[in-house]
Structure 1
Amino acid sequence: MVDISSSLAETHNVEDILSYRDKLFYPASGWNYMMRRNMQEIVPGLFLGPYSSALKQYQSNLLEQGITHIVCVRDSSEAHFIYPQMTDNYTYLTLDIVDSEFEGILKHIPVVTKFINTARNRHGKVLVHGNTGISRSAALVLGYVMKTYNYSYTQALRLVKQKRGCVNPNPGFASQLNEYEVIYKTQKYFARHQGQCSKTPDQTPKRRNDGLFEEPHPKIAAIARYDDISQKDINVSVRKNPNTVSEFCSQDES
């Protein structure tokens, strides 16, 4: 094991110690501790960062990166200092989520996915931020990456950590995201076969191994309509001009 303390025995600067640690543990990605204060592009058009990266005084960086949409994640106790600051310049999606292992994170992923896809389909770019950009906002980005790129939680976490090394969803979020792979793949399966399921038996073409899908596993059947379960509890505010809001709300989920 590397003894970091002995390597920096003469310094009392905590940030120097953490930066040295990051060079040891994240040599390939080039990640260092100071980068946590900035946003990073996880996949093309999708950025993850802390609240400070969305402050009005740093708008020049948002403009430089081409940000057009912002997902603001906070809980009610943080609403007095974490809130959309530039509603005239950006389209916001605001979510109230507590950073607790008992909080349900998966119910927010569908609306976040729709919001991100809407922006990216219009050649826009999205910043997702919480307070520190480590747990809640990171979990939402991980869920988006999983569903969009057909990744497992482990694969998505590896990708996101390569871009933002401090990402660390709380244990409850991590456990839910591990289960999310089964959920989103089931959703995609039923979406692909919805047309065939609506046909009468004599209209449906027979394929080899079709019998495997005649009786879905109880777990799959239970979560098949997951998207319909959760929307009522989501505290969402989308702020900009009325035309943008109406257009966003009228689209089908991607």
Structure 2
Amino acid sequence: MAQTYPLPEYSSEKLKELIQGPGDVEWTYEMRRQCQEILPRLYLGPLQASKSLDTLKSLGITHIVCIRDAKEAFSVRPRFPEHFQYMVLDVQDSEEQNLIRLFPQAKQFIDQAIAQGGCVLVHCNGGISLSPAFVVMYVMQHHGLSWEDALHLVQNRRYCISPNGGFLTQIKEYESIYKATNAVAAYPQQRESAPRRKRSEEDDEDSLQREGARTKRALVDDDEDDAMQT
């Protein structure tokens, strides 16, 4: 069996620290052109961060999610397919674009990469609106956070992010979607345990009925013996 390397699970106190972000980082304008580590082995950044092979290798990047508007395909593209595994998502960087429909395949790609011990960079052109929306949804679902906490966690590591109004609305909507999905996934376990409890209760009731019947027969037999003796 292949070894897996899942992201660590954190206590509620540790999550609060993560949401607040590192307190010793002084954000500079130049950092907009760099990528930042949002979770262990998950980076977020702009196109610029995906163009330096040396930088990507120094960070240990193995997988790249390249998110782009179709009209950007000439410049926002996989540049080192011989070195990294890519997922390319062609979307429209507009408020009408449905990100929720595209997110599951991106999440699966990131999950598989990290489980294999990989390190993932998620980027779009500017790393301001489009790719951050995907990363916020990923962080939200992975750690079971509210959309506000997930947004703050990402923003406190890459200060320049600002998902557009349409993307922000979808981020809010996704909170209820992933929570409903989790509830549905847990429901079969509840259904399995309920019949067992019901069968146990029925068994107890049958046992009581059998015991009652035996007691009744014994009383009848005693009455018949008394009658014969008299």
Which TM-score band (shorter chain)? 0.7 to 0.9
Once the two structures are TM-superposed, the CA of residue 177 in structure 1 deviates from its matched residue by 0.6
Change in CA separation of 1:47 and 1:195 when aligned onto 2, cut-off 3 Å: same
| Aligned-pair CA distance for 1:194 | 2.5
Instruction: Report how many residues are paired.
Output: 178
Aligned pairs (5 A) from 1:71-220: 71-197=65-191, 199=192, 202-203=195-196
DSSP-derived class of the 1:160 partner: helix
Q: 2:43 aligns with which of 36, 40, 47?
A: 47
* 1:230-249 superposed matches below 5 A: none
Aligned pair in 2 of structure 1 residues 152, 170: CA closer, same or farther (>3 Å)? Answer: same
The structure 2 residue matched to 1:67, chosen from 61, 66, 69, is: 61
* In structure 2, distance between residues paired with 1:186 and 1:204: 25
Q: TM-score, normalised by structure 2?
A: 0.73
Q: Over aligned residues, Cα RMSD in angstroms?
A: 2.0
In structure 2, the CA distance between the partners of 1:29 and 1:153, relative to structure 1 (3 Å rule), is farther
1:170 offset after TM fit, Å?
0.5
User: Which residue of structure 1 aligns with residue 219 of structure 2?
Assistant: none
Tell me how far 1:191 sits from its aligned partner.
0.8
How far apart are 1:204 and its partner, in Å?
Answer: 6.0
Segments of structure 1 that go 5 or more residues without pairing to the other structure are 1-25, 207-254
Structure 1 moving runs of 4+ over 2 Å:
26-29, 194-197, 199-206
SS at match of 2:102: helix
Larger radius of gyration: 2
Structure 1 residues 163 and 200 mapped into 2: Cα distance closer, same or farther (>3 Å)?
closer
Distance (Å, rounded) in 1 between the aligned partners of 2:78 and 2:101: 22
Q: How far off is 1:27 after superposition?
A: 7.8
- Deviation track 1:205-226 (CA, whole Å, cap 9, x = no partner) reads 69xxxxxxxxxxxxxxxxxxxx
3-state SS of paired residue (1:193):
helix
Match of residue 30 from structure 1: 26
Structure 1, 61-70 or 79-88: larger mean CA deviation: 79-88
Check 1:74–1:193 CA distance in 2 against 1; reply closer, same or farther (3 A cut): same
Report the residue type matching 1:181 in the other structure.
Answer: E
> SS in structure 2 opposite 1:132?
coil
Gap runs ≥5 in structure 2: 1-21, 200-230
- Which structure features the higher share of helix residues? 2
8 Å CA contact 1:134–1:168 kept in 2: the answer is yes
Look up the equivalent residue of 1:43 and give its one-letter code: L
